[in-house]
Amino acid sequence: MLPMSRAEMDALGWDSCDIILVSGDAYVDHPSFGIALIGRLLEAQGFRVGIIAQPDWHTAEPFKILGKPNLYFGITAGNMDSMVNRYTADRKIRSDDAYTPDAAANRRPDRAVLVYSQRCREAYSDVPLVIGSIEASLRRIAHYDYWSDKVRRSILIDSKADILLYGNAERAIIELSHRIARGEPLSEIRDIRGTAFVLKKVPEAFVEVPSTRLDRPGVVDKHTDPYEMKMGKADASCATEDSTSAAPTISLPLPLKAAKVPRDRQVIRMPAFEEVAHDPVLYAHASRVLHLEANPGNARALVQRHADREVWLNPPPIPLTTKEMDYVYDLPYARKPHPAYGNAKIPAWEMIRFSVNIMRGCFGGCTFCSITEHEGRIIQSRSEDSILREIEDIRDKVDGFTGVISDLGGPTANMYRLACKSETIETNCRKLSCVYPDVCENLNTNHDALIQLYRKARNLKGVKKILIGSGLRYDLAVKSPEYVKELVQHHVGGYLKIAPEHSEDNVLSKMMKPGMGAYDEFKRMFEKFSAEAGKKQYLIPYFIAAHPGTTDEDMLNLALWLKKNEFRLDQVQTFTPTPMAMATAMYHSGKNPLRKVTADSDAVPIPKAAGVRKLHKAFIRYHDPANWPMLREALKNMGRTDLIGNGKKHLIPAYQPAVLPKIVQSDGSRFVPKALPKGFNQTKNAASPRRIK
């Protein structure tokens, strides 16, 4: 294990650490935990690395436990954004934390990167601060903050850090650490991709290009219909910059001076913090431009003024090669929590202890998801040999292994080794998604490598079953019936999770998700191959309530779809606006940044009010008696009283149960409350308990 105390440092013969990593998570030495991955990577480069995990942030003393680092503090919030980790979608404090021993709550502060940075400065004021992780990555520029309901400055400004590493930062952290170790001042290290920092002014070697030159406001284009399954439809637009696809750019003449300068000497001038903070339309425009400048093959640097300072973002990091991915994942991880936690259970570890990460990145581009903003849309895959070695390591070294691998996956289960057919097109592409509104014809959708991996993995000695637990991109899967057959007949443990997210066209277009045609096709294949194998298996769909662009009528139609298909869902995800996401720009601005944005652009309906968000969630859980009073009132207001009644054609019954219903808790246990939940009525002619499921 990497040391967490002076006693452990003494045992290693260290008088000091070169680098001290601070994390909001418990220290689990496993590559799925960012602090362990970066720690082992730096260790392999010859650095002495210490860990301060979940320190008490109320004073600076816990940040002195390992002494003063020779090079820098590396500060992260952990695997999750601290605000998402601590608060529900309704801004209520969670009662547990999956990344903490025994799921204890309140072991990390709000905005952990800011707080940890402040305490590190108090502990050792002259030690450089390097910030990273998803929390810092998604806040690298002025961003809308859902929890304070305002646009906040770049986290670089508020944390007073020396440099920010965004995305998966292996390349950047190695180069940065060696250059600091060689004595190069951190203030002069300004050329590493995937980094952001604060400047007083733009360097003279760069020519500024106003963001409006890339995407001048104009008429809002009509949406392409994303709901038909147009198999094999040609799509060559991703090779050009003036595409009219899901995220078009506008080809405008650059300033004469800029036109003569290479792209690597151009910097995009984003609207200033003060402008986007007070003008939601400019915020949506800035979000759109930032996402268009996200391809490592053609992205330029971005700069955004904050008062009298400039926040500079270098282009995104170059994705790791397969050989480099293998190097990272083949490091000598202990594959268990630090012994300091004793017998305490860490839920996040328990969930992934028998799983293997086979790839990273996602080219789906879903507007509500932060994976693309953080990991990029170019898939980075490990080699087959590296993955099989890790399975054997789990078999031989991880306590409690029973022969079942719980997942071979990543952000998306079936994007392994999928990439653009042409490196030239991939380098020049400026689309936000390779699969919206349809799967791009330039995308290789061959699943043969994944099928072969599944077969070899399940044939390893001591392995009884390989399950797939990561989310599945079913619009890709249907391109390979052989893959669907392999998955369904060998790697589904009775249930398979997929995420249609919604049933209605206008909502799906704001999500950049495929239509229900793709879902229906996958469902047909799933049922066919399950029947052929003689197995009774079920799809478990996930849906989002209160996503930007959703109306009450959309949620009603989704509820009717669920009832028609006999789905009764216990878990419902309510949309949470996370920093930098395109859907968050919609939520804040009321505009659609997937198209050109102007003050006169068509408004996007935004379900912001707490009552509306609660209602939208209730529609998905139409079967829950606790929601019936609210739904009855809503249906009356919508003129749909025809859906209230006790027949099969009705959505909800006219009666209200007199019995106290069993409440299903998040852990699956049930209890009967001492009092009726709000909205329940006791009447003499109430329904029999047998009628309530």
CA distances from 453 to 277, 378, 411, 486 (A): 48, 20, 17, 11
Q: Which amino acid is at 149?
A: D
Distance CA 293, CA 314 (A): 11
Find out whether 428 and 242 touch, Cβ atoms under 8 Å. no
DSSP string, 126-193: TS-EEE-HHHHHTTSSSEEETTTTEEEPPHHHHHT-SEEE-SS-HHHHHHHHHHHHTT--GGG----T
The pLDDT of 34-48, averaged and rounded, is 97
Query: What pLDDT is stored for residue 253 in this prediction?
Result: 52
The pLDDT of 345-356, averaged and rounded, is 96
The answer to whether residue 227 scores a pLDDT higher than 50 is no
What percent of the chain clears pLDDT 70, i.e. is strictly above it?
89
Query: What pLDDT is stored for residue 331 in this prediction?
Result: 97
Q: pLDDT band at 232, cuts 50/70/90?
A: very low
pLDDT in tens, 259-303: 678 888 999 999 999 999 999 999 999 999 999 999 999 999 999
Fold of 6-199: Rossmann fold (3.40.50)
Burial 650-685 (b: 16+ CB within 10 A, else e): ebbbebbbbbbbeeeeeeeeeeeeeebeeebeeeee
Supply the DSSP symbol for 363.
Answer: S
Strands 163-165 and 195-199, sheet pairing: antiparallel
Question: What angle, 0 to 180 degrees and rounded to 10, lies between the N-to-C axes of helices 384-397 and 448-458?
Answer: 30
Query: What pLDDT is stored for residue 216 in this prediction?
Result: 55
Q: Burial, 693: exposed, middle or buried (Cβ in 10 Å; 0-12, 13-18, 19+)?
A: exposed
Q: pLDDT band at 660, cuts 50/70/90?
A: low
Residue 184: phi, psi to the nearest 5?
-75, 125
* pLDDT greater at residue 485 or residue 214: 485
Query: What pLDDT is stored for residue 256 in this prediction?
Result: 53
The pLDDT of 301-310, averaged and rounded, is 97
Using CA atoms in the order 72, 78, 82, 86, what is the torsion angle rounded to 10 degrees? -140
Q: pLDDT band at 518, cuts 50/70/90?
A: very high
The answer to whether residue 319 scores a pLDDT higher than 80 is yes
The pLDDT of 210-214, averaged and rounded, is 86
Q: pLDDT band at 477, cuts 50/70/90?
A: very high
Q: pLDDT band at 570, cuts 50/70/90?
A: confident
The pLDDT of 316-334, averaged and rounded, is 96
Q: Domain 217-251+354-621 has what CATH class?
A: alpha beta
* Residue 443 CB contacts under 8 Å (≥ 6 apart), including other chains: 363, 418, 419, 420, 421, 434, 435
* Residue 148 CB contacts under 8 Å (≥ 6 apart), including other chains: none
pLDDT in tens, 595-649: 877 777 778 999 999 999 999 999 999 999 999 999 999 999 999 999 999 999 9
pLDDT in tens, 661-685: 555 555 555 555 555 555 444 443 3
The pLDDT of 380-399, averaged and rounded, is 96
List the chain domain ranges. Answer: 6-199, 217-251+354-621, 624-693
Find out whether 69 and 126 touch, Cβ atoms under 8 Å. no
Please, which residues bridge with residue 663 across strands?
A: 671
The answer to whether residue 226 scores a pLDDT higher than 60 is no
Strands 143-145 and 150-152, sheet pairing: antiparallel
Distance CA 282, CA 275 (A): 7
Model confidence, pTM: 0.89
pLDDT in tens, 56-91: 999 999 999 999 999 999 999 999 999 999 999 999
The answer to whether residue 241 scores a pLDDT higher than 80 is no
